[in-house]
Amino acid sequence: MTPLVSAQNLQVHFDLGGGSLWARMAGRPARGSVVRSVDGVSLEIARGETLGLVGESGCGKTTLGRALLRLVEPTAGRVTFRDVDVTALAPEPLRQQRRHMQMIFQDPYASLDPRMTVAQIVAEPLHTFGLAHGRDRHDRVRELMAVVGLSERFINRYPHEFSGGQQQRIGIARALASAPDFIVADEPISALDVSIQAQIINLIERLQAERGLTYLFISHDLRAIRHTSDRVAVMYLGRIVEMGPARDVCDAPLMPYTRALVSAVPVPDPVVEARRTRIVLQGDVPSPIDPPAGCRFHTRCPYAVAACRVVEPALQEIRPGHFAACIRISPEQPDIEGAKPA
């Protein structure tokens, strides 16, 4: 089956400028002043599937999500959506294509125009894509509000009159308005209170079941990712370092970074917390401007050997459907603990 969305060797670099005037005039990229946000990512998302994308700030997960919708221009590589090369589309066909690819944002208030009423916000995609007019449009807005659990009474209110959870519902209604196939949900729950997070997760999952939606669910919250996703991709400094079925990645991670990430998540159970051993990584995430050579994680990796500083590891299938980028593990030796000491 062909995937709904796929990326091949996708790359998004941001040129920060700088470098010598001579080099710039000669048109050479100024080395060292380029942020390698997304640096060669390939992935596929099947229709109806949720791919969870997890990583720390600056790892490039948001940029990757935006590049799939071409909200940022990839500097290399290809994005295919329903067999159409999105990266090659001219502005007008791209605009038409966006009807089918929408986004839910992290900060619900910042992503809603404060001078527009809920009705106007939710109706905007219908207007932009010419999907409904007049009475019909009004009915569609009311229907969408009901779908996301907002009372019709609020139809003429402004975003600031709503709580954070309700604002996120408005953002979801807007994303649904053009009846998309694919939605990038970028940290949709991290700005919300704990009791509201469960509501929004349930809403996002219900909509998927009812409408056959396909999601890229971006989050730094492994608990939420594990709950919502079929498969999970872990990003570190612009690259996918592990990818596989959600349960396998979250419960039996292979790559040392994922293992540390999983172990760093506090478990809401004091009995478990008292017993578990934590892997506490040393140091900070290096800058994506000048990522370390070889394996990008080697500067913080407790298992790194000399070769890790040189060889850039490729994703390899360690267990069925479960890929990891680490030269110290293999299908024959999947457990890093069993790798020969440095």
Partner 1 sequence: MTRSTPHSAEFAPRLELVAEPILEIRDLTVEFSTEDGIVHAVTGVSYDLNPGEVLGIVGESGSGKSVSMLTVLGLTPMPPGRIASGEALYKGKNLLTMPKKELRDLRGGDVAMIFQDPMTSLNPFMRVAAQIEEVTRLHLRHSKADARAHAIAMLERVGIPDARRRADDYPHQFSGGMRQRVMIAIALACGPDLLIADEPTTALDVTIQAQILELIRASRAATGSAVILITHDLGIVAGMTDRVVVMYAGTVFETASTKELFARPGNPYTQGLLQSVPNPAAERGAPLYQIPGSPPDVAHLPPGCPFAPRCSRAADVCRQEFPPFVEVAPGHHSLCHFAHDVHDGRSA
Contact positions toward partner 1, by CB under 8 A?
Answer: 56-57, 163, 165-166, 193-199, 201-202, 205-206, 209, 220, 222-224, 226-227, 230, 246-247, 251, 260-261, 263-274, 278, 280-285
Q: Closest separation between CB of residue 53 and partner 1, Å? A: 14
Cβ-based nearer residue to partner 1, 78 or 223: 223
- For residues 283 and 292, what is the distance between their CA atoms, to the nearest angstrom? 14
Cβ-based nearer residue to partner 1, 79 or 255: 255
Q: Closest separation between CB of residue 107 and partner 1, Å? A: 14
Q: How many helices (H) and strands (E) does the chain have?
A: 11, 12
Cβ-based nearer residue to partner 1, 183 or 222: 222
List all residues 6 or more positions away from 92 whose beta carbon is below 8 Å from its beta carbon: none
DSSP 223-275: HHHHHH-SEEEEEETTEEEEEEEHHHHHHS--SHHHHHHHHHSPPS-HHHHHH
Cβ-based nearer residue to partner 1, 257 or 323: 257
Cβ-based nearer residue to partner 1, 16 or 265: 265
Q: Is 77 left (phi over 0), alpha (psi -120 to 50) or beta?
A: left
The amino acid present at 277, given as its one-letter code, is T
Q: Closest separation between CB of residue 263 and partner 1, Å? A: 8
Cβ-based nearer residue to partner 1, 133 or 247: 247
Cβ atoms 205, 49 nearer than 8 A: no
Q: Closest separation between CB of residue 261 and partner 1, Å? A: 6
Count of Cβ atoms closer than 10 Å to residue 167 Cβ: 22
Among the listed residues 83, 111, 76, the one whose alpha carbon sits nearest the alpha carbon of residue 97: 83
Q: Closest separation between CB of residue 234 and partner 1, Å? A: 12
Q: Closest separation between CB of residue 193 and partner 1, Å? A: 4
